[in-house]
Structures are given as C-alpha cells and as structure tokens.
Structure 1
Amino acid sequence: MTTPPPGVPTPGAPHDDPAVSPPHNAPAATPPHDGSAAPERVEVVAVTGIGEVRPGDDVAALLAGAGLRDGDIVVVTSKIVSKAEGRVRHAPDRTQAIEEETERVVARRGDTVISQTRHGFVMAAAGVDASNTEPGTVLLLPEDADASARRIRAGLGGVRVGVIVSDTFGRPWRNGLTDVAIGVAGLRPLDDYRGTSDTYGNPLNATVTALADEIAGAAELVKGKLAGVPVAIVRGLSHLVTEDDGPGVRPLVRPADDDLFRFGSRDVVFARRTIREFSDRPVDPEAVRRAVAAGIAAPAPHHTTPWRFVLLESPQTRTKLLDAMREAWIADLRGDGFTEQSIAKRVKRGDVLRNAPYLVVPCLVMEGSHTYRDERRNTSEREMFIVATGAGVENFLVQLAVEGLGSAWVSSTMFCRPVVRELLDLPESWDPMGCVAVGHAAAPPRDRAPRDPGDFILTR
C-alpha cells in the first residue's frame, strides 16, 4: 500500500459464501471467469488534497491531478458524491431522514435500525449519515450511485478506468464494518466461477466472487474513517476494467426470491400474505414439513399438542376431496334456498384451493383436554383448544412465507367435516379446521390497506 504525504496529489506512479450464493441455474450476472491468473502485484494509492466538497462540485474535475493510468480503478467514498450532488439535508437528527429513505425496516433494536433502501441495499439507518458533515445536517446516499459512477467515469475522459462509489456496511454474524460498492461503472462487478473446477478437479457450483466489494474494501485501507482521504486508486487489476460502463451494482444486490435471509426480525410476521393465484412451480415437501415444525411450536393448554396437519401431496386425492366438498356445499346451499346463480358464485370462491399445487388440512384434536360437569366450562375448554389450533396454523403460515411459499387459509372444510374425514380416512376425533392452499405466488400480493394499531387497542 502506498500513501503520499498529506496535501500532495497522488503522482502518476462481500464475500462469497456457497450457502447464500445465487442458485446454480441463475443467469450469470457477469461474463464468466476468464481463467486468467491472479495479478502478481496490486497497489492501493490514496488520493489526497481534495479538500471539502460542496454541492455542485464536479468530482471528476477534483481528480484531474491524480495521475490516472489506463486500467486503474478509482474508488470514491459516497459521502463526497452525496455532497457534490446536493444530497445534504438539514435535520436536528437522522430519524425523519431514515424513515423517508427506508423502503422497509428489516430489524430494529433500540435506536438501531437496519433498513432496506429503495436501491435494494440492506444497511444501518438506510445509509443516512451524520458524520463528516456540518453539525445539524445529514448526508443521504446518492440518488443513483451507478449513474454517479458513470458521470465520474465520463468526466475522466482520455483514460480507461473503472469507477466504484463505496459506502460502509455492517455484516450479519460478524463484528466490524467494511466498505462495499454501491455504484459501479466500467468494471466487472462479479467473477463467476460456477461451471469450472478447482485444482483438485472438484466442480464449483456456487462460487461467485464480489469483485467490486473486495476492491472497495481494499481501498478503504488507505482512505480510513478519520484520515480525510475520500478517494483511492487501485492499480494492477486492469483485466477487470471494461470498455463500456457495464451492468453497474445491480448484480451484487441479491434478488428477494434468492435471499435465504431476506426477512429480518421485524419482517417475519408481516411476511405472511394471503395468496390466491399460484404459479406452476412445484412445492418442496420438505419446506412444508419445516413449516409444520413451526406450527407445533405454538402455545397450547395443559401442555397438550392439539394440532395435526394432513398434507395432500397426491393430485388425485386433492381432486377427489375438492369434488366431494363441492357437492356437499352445493347440497347445503340448495337446502338453504340459495339460487343457482348465487350457488355458482359462492362455489367459485373455492377455486383458490383447486388452483393450488399443494393443500394442507389442519386439524384440531382434543387429546389431553379436561372434562367438567359444568357445560359452560367444557365450552371454554374447547375454545382454548381452538385458539391454540389457530396459533399453530398462524405459525405454520408465517413459516411458509419465510420458506418463500404463499398460502391462503380457507375455512371450507369446516362446513363439511364428515365428508373430509371420510374421504381422507381421518379419525373421528380429528376436527378439520379449514384448508390451506400452498404454492409459489404467481404475482406479488397487493399492498395491505394501512391499519393504525391504535384503532385496535383499548387501554384501561
């Protein structure tokens, strides 16, 4: 690492974890690894003498004396990009700015908030920073850091370089911060080794290296948090620099469907949504069984286990059950005097079950319940078990969502319990408590209507 004396312009001289890497059949976000040998020497050089950056400043112009060479990679701290682009806000604290920059809160503990920004980044305080800025102001992330990187690169015309806009992120499971790329131009952001073999001939099925993040982290070694050095040059990686601006940082942001850890502690309950349209994608039976394990972790009276889950994995069984239930509903509705038109409309509501690739029938069992001489107490006893069954089904539905599966809990079986017991050959003591349609959502669910918790609270 080389750092010039302070005030003197530089002279002319994330992480790959197979457990969370993109799926093997995902399209490569970058050109495949070219098989070239690792460079023998990489230099990281601090660029000093830039001074305080003000709104309207041209970041590229500030680098005019940096002595850039073809193949260099310029790493620019996002703070000076934000200042130059006027992403400075006057605020007594960060609270309001964090709320406005947050797409969703992933986790919260005390004053610490982990947020997903509209850029797709998951980071502390939605990237809102109160350091290295005048008192009473906060810095927001660049509106579009890829576009910022492209503008800086274009402003450095005459030299072939890559540009990274970096910011500091924390990391799950590890203490300490590191810089990562939030904007990229003229650089291959990922190195994809999938489909190749290691030196022992073992196939690599999940190895994707976050090149841009590694370079951003290396650059931070000479910039530092307190040194007042916002730019570094990484030299020796010219094979990663591209002729065009490239895909930007987007390939580094894991799609929600591929993110095994998408839901933070605050998200888990709200992840459950009623899904009524499912794709043809098959359901992993093991995922359903993991959801059952969550279901039976619910509280129950008298240390009992009042839950049973009937998994309808056979298409023939699902069809027979739904046909039999349909006939029972129609007979009941006709007996109640409904018109044929009204019956057809009501029966159609069961299509969510017929269109689902997987069905689950939760059942209540009263094993371990107490019997009293007072019928009122017996009624209360059953109600306790019904509440416990509902808690178990809710756990089940939430875990399905965590597994990436949509669901719809329909009360249909409760209107024809004898038919369900007979067709599924269930014990008489098993009480079917509806039917859960399970599958992969065909489209994102509609946003929930806003609800104020205060409307549901009574304080005494």
Structure 2
Amino acid sequence: MSGPGSETPAYRVWALPGIGEVQAGDDLAKLIAATEPGLVDGDVLLVTSKIVSKAEGRIVEATDREAAIDAETVRVVARRGTLRIVENRQGLVMAAAGVDASNTPPGTVLLLPEDPDASALAIREGLRDALGVEVGVVVTDTFGRPWRNGLTDVAIGAAGVRVLDDLRGGTDGYGNPLSATVVATADELASAGDLVKGKASGLPVAVVRGLAHVLAAPGEEAGGARAMVRVAADDMFRLGTSEAVREALSLRRTVREFTAEPVDPGAVRRAVAAAVTAPAPHHTTPWRFVLLESAASRTRLLDAMRDAWIADLRRDGKSEESIARRVRRGDVLRDAPYLVVPCLVTEGSHHYGDERRDTAEREMFVVAAGAGVQNFLVALAGERLGSAWVSSTMFCRDVVREVLDLPQDWDPLGAVAVGRAAGAPKERAPRDPEAFLTVR
C-alpha cells in the first residue's frame, strides 16, 4: 500500500472493536465476522492468544499457579527466585510457560492454545467461509526478551503468512552479500498489532492492511509459527547460568569411544581457563596442563608408556594374555584425537619437618589439583566435548616427564582423552544424594 500521491511503502493497522467476552466453545471466526470488519484479500489478522485459549476451553481451575506451570513445563531454562523461564509444551521458551492468571475468573488460569498454528488455520478458514476473503492470521502472545527490558507481542501461531523472510543469498544496497539475514516477519506483525490492541482495552484483534506480500501465494506451503522456534542444536543460550552448570555436570561422562573429528584447541584452552579457578592452598597455582595437539606427540608418549607398562607387568609375573588385556585398556587414549596431561606442582607448599603435617600438606595440593581437573572436565562437557580421565601416567611418571621434556617437580596426574563422543553414553545409574549426606 502506498501513501497518498507517492510510491513510499506504507501500511495501516487498527484494532477491531466489538469482539466482546469470549466463552468456551465460541467460534472466533464467526465472532470476528460479526463485527463487520471490512476485511479484504491480503489483510492480516492479529489475534491475541488469550481469546483463542478461552474459545478452546483452555481455562483450568488452579488455585496454585505454580502447579499449573509445572504441568505445562517441558524444561526449566532459568530460575531466579519464584520466576521461571521454561520451555513449554508448544516448544516456546517464555516466562511461566505462558500460564496467565489475568483476565480470567479468580481461582482459574489460562493456558496457551494446545496448537497455535492449528488455531490460526481454523480462524483463517472460518473467515474464508464467512466472508469470502483470503487473509493471513497470526496468533500472538506477550514475551519478555533476553538482554532487553520491556515486553512485546510475538507470533506463537500463524496461517497463510510467510513467518520468516529469508534474505540470505541476496545483497544489500552496497552490493554486500547477505549471509545471515532472516527477518522474523510474523513477530514484526505481532508487535505492530500490539500497539493498537493494548493490554487492558478489550481489543484482542487487530488488522494490518497494505502488506499483502507477506501472505503465502495460493498453493504455497507457508508453514506456521513453529518454524520460528530455534532448535536446540542452534540455541547458544539454551540455559540460565546455574542450569548450564548443572547440565554441564550431568553431561560430564567418561567417554570410551571418540570420532575422528578434530578438537578445537580454543575449546581446550577455555576449559583450562575454567580449571585454574579451582581453590588451592596458600594462594598457589598447583595445576599445569600439557596439551598434546599433534598425532606424533601422542604416539610418542603412548608408545613409551606402553613399553614401560609391559615391562612392569612382566616383572610382576603377569601372563602375556593378561598383559595384552591390560594394555588394551589404554586404547581410549590412543583413539582420542586430543590428549591432555594434567600435572601437580607443589611449588609454594610448606615443609614442617613433621611427617603427619607434611603428608597433610601434600594431600591439600593433590585435592586442589583434583578440583582443577574436575573443573576442566566439566568445562569440556560445556563445550560439548567428551573426555576420559585415565590414571595411567601416574604409574610411569619418569617416562612421561622424559618424553614430554617436563620439569622434575611436575607430577603427571593421569591423562585426559578429549574428543567428540562416537555415540550416546550409557544411562548413568541414579544416585540418591541423601545416601551421601550426614547431618549433625
């Protein structure tokens, strides 16, 4: 639609009066048609999800809103006090799962439509039957947004509308290629409608005219608003801080089989940065991490360790079959595309000349080094890297120091195999935290 006397692009948006209070079982298309909205082909209707929920009977008795949120929640994304950001049954990430206690009778709450795309399609088809018009329909709801104050309406359901405008492959006004530009058209429509609908004015439906190009062409499969939900694999902000830490801890599993995919050295260095935040005695830094990034360095170390291990086992009188079986246990290190050898350094430790206190002093440093390695493993899990912490280097420390040219006061604390897991880990047997607690 153009402005008067010009070719300047323009559109018009207005709210539809006369909808009235919506009851369970109402036909929203008929209610909208009854207002004599004057719709024409190419218009887009923006319908507040609240009246869709009411018409679909999504009002439930709930004196405890938190219980209703629990029932609609698939995954908690972040929690701060009583506020929860969750993924709900519709796949939407939002506050309180979209459960709404406003504009509904006391003791009840409104749930979001079960299938907002299907709801939008029903309204669209109903208006076609009632008024003979081809319009787009967007079902909207109010969202907060990360990093931005304030609320706005976004699309949670759509029919007949191209919800995303993919500009990738085109060029800007300077001829620069567009490689990442996908416009959330349906969200822009939703926010435009919210400016005239308001939150408490009793105007739950708006019309946009002049943007017919956002409607799908006859026979075109436009999809719905579900296409706007970012899939988990592409979501860089899937969790809140404390939830991310807990997930990383749960992902920290010993991986025995790795793919050949190379490991990003930057990811390992970020994990080391997390490792060296561990607590340590006397303000010391008892951790060192030797990164074996080349295949040659890994092979040279593992071959030397294997030879030393075989010699030890033969001195112990083990059979060749037993030795071969034990050596095979180290294959996880040989198969991994990246190795890290964490080392303990006791520089800064106190020496008391008393065996009991000197033993305790060393144990303090060993505990601190272990805390650093745990931080390292958890941080690797946060990078979606699998790991296996194997103790083998502790049994041939001199060999490891010689091959890697390490100082004599560096004590290897095993080796960590790092890489992408070749398959899903086995289910971990559940552990009841209460079994590990003693309360006094």
For 2:316 and 2:44, how far apart are their aligned partners in 1?
76
* Match in the other structure for 2:93: 122
Given residue 195 of structure 1, which amino acid in structure 2 is its aligned partner? Answer: G
Q: Given the alignment of the two structures, is residue 171 of structure 1 paired with residue 145 of structure 2, yes or no?
A: yes
Task: Indicate the SS of the match to 2:156.
Answer: strand
Task: Indicate the SS of the match to 1:203.
Answer: coil
Structure 1 position 328, deviation (Å): 4.5
Counterparts in 2 of 1:231 and 1:173: CA distance versus 1, 3 Å: same
Given residue 165 of structure 2, which amino acid in structure 1 is its aligned partner? Answer: D
Structure 1 position 173, deviation (Å): 1.6
For 1:146 and 1:345, how far apart are their aligned partners in 2?
58
5+ unaligned residues in a row in structure 1: which ranges?
1-37
Task: Indicate the SS of the match to 2:350.
Answer: coil
2:23/2:54 contact within 8 Å kept: yes
* Match in the other structure for 2:238: 262
Q: Given the alignment of the two structures, is residue 103 of structure 1 paired with residue 74 of structure 2, yes or no?
A: yes
- TM score, norm. by length of structure 1: 0.83
Q: Given the alignment of the two structures, is residue 74 of structure 1 paired with residue 45 of structure 2, yes or no?
A: yes
* Match in the other structure for 1:454: 434
Task: Indicate the SS of the match to 2:47.
Answer: strand
Structure 1 position 337, deviation (Å): 6.5
5+ unaligned residues in a row in structure 2: which ranges?
1-6
Aligned pair partner of 1:93 in 57, 60, 64: 64
Structure 1 position 402, deviation (Å): 3.2
Structure 1 position 366, deviation (Å): 0.8
Structure 1 position 224, deviation (Å): 1.5
Matches within 5 A, 1:92-241: 92-157=63-128, 158-241=132-215
For 2:430 and 2:48, how far apart are their aligned partners in 1?
38
- TM score, norm. by length of structure 2: 0.86
Given residue 262 of structure 1, which amino acid in structure 2 is its aligned partner? Answer: R
What do the CA deviations read for 1:316-339 (whole angstroms, capped 9, x no partner)? 222333344445455555666667
For 2:433 and 2:211, how far apart are their aligned partners in 1?
54
For 1:178 and 1:447, how far apart are their aligned partners in 2?
41
Task: Indicate the SS of the match to 1:197.
Answer: coil
Aligned pair partner of 2:371 in 379, 385, 391: 391
Deviates further, 436-445 or 39-48: 436-445
Aligned pair partner of 1:432 in 396, 400, 412: 412
For 2:395 and 2:154, how far apart are their aligned partners in 1?
56
Counterparts in 2 of 1:130 and 1:75: CA distance versus 1, 3 Å: same
1:413/1:432 contact within 8 Å kept: yes
Task: Indicate the SS of the match to 1:107.
Answer: strand
Number of residue pairs the alignment of both structures matches: 423
* Match in the other structure for 1:50: 19
* Match in the other structure for 1:354: 334
2:144/2:152 contact within 8 Å kept: yes
Aligned pair partner of 1:64 in 20, 25, 33: 33
* Match in the other structure for 2:399: 419
Given residue 247 of structure 1, which amino acid in structure 2 is its aligned partner? Answer: G
Structure 1 position 120, deviation (Å): 3.3
Given residue 148 of structure 2, which amino acid in structure 1 is its aligned partner? Answer: R
* Match in the other structure for 1:316: 296
For 1:90 and 1:319, how far apart are their aligned partners in 2?
66
Task: Indicate the SS of the match to 2:79.
Answer: strand
Structure 1 position 271, deviation (Å): 2.6
* Match in the other structure for 1:290: 270
Task: Indicate the SS of the match to 1:114.
Answer: strand
Structure 1 position 166, deviation (Å): 1.6
Structure 1 position 304, deviation (Å): 0.7
1:187/1:245 contact within 8 Å kept: no
For 1:97 and 1:340, how far apart are their aligned partners in 2?
64
Task: Indicate the SS of the match to 1:142.
Answer: coil
For 2:188 and 2:233, how far apart are their aligned partners in 1?
25
1:105/1:266 contact within 8 Å kept: no
Aligned pair partner of 1:271 in 247, 261, 267: 247
2:254/2:389 contact within 8 Å kept: no
What do the CA deviations read for 1:320-379 (whole angstroms, capped 9, x no partner)? 333444454555556666676666665555444333322222221111111121212122
What do the CA deviations read for 1:175-225 (whole angstroms, capped 9, x no partner)? 111111222222222222333332223333322221111111111111221
1:83/1:139 contact within 8 Å kept: yes
- Which has the greater radius of gyration? 2
Task: Indicate the SS of the match to 1:165.
Answer: strand
Given residue 275 of structure 2, which amino acid in structure 1 is its aligned partner? Answer: G
Counterparts in 2 of 1:370 and 1:114: CA distance versus 1, 3 Å: same
* Match in the other structure for 2:284: 304
For 1:441 and 1:140, how far apart are their aligned partners in 2?
40
- What is the identity percentage for the equivalent residue pairs of Structure 1 and Structure 2? 68
Task: Indicate the SS of the match to 2:140.
Answer: strand
* Match in the other structure for 1:35: none
Structure 1 position 308, deviation (Å): 1.0
For 1:68 and 1:120, how far apart are their aligned partners in 2?
32
* Match in the other structure for 1:365: 345
Given residue 238 of structure 2, which amino acid in structure 1 is its aligned partner? Answer: R
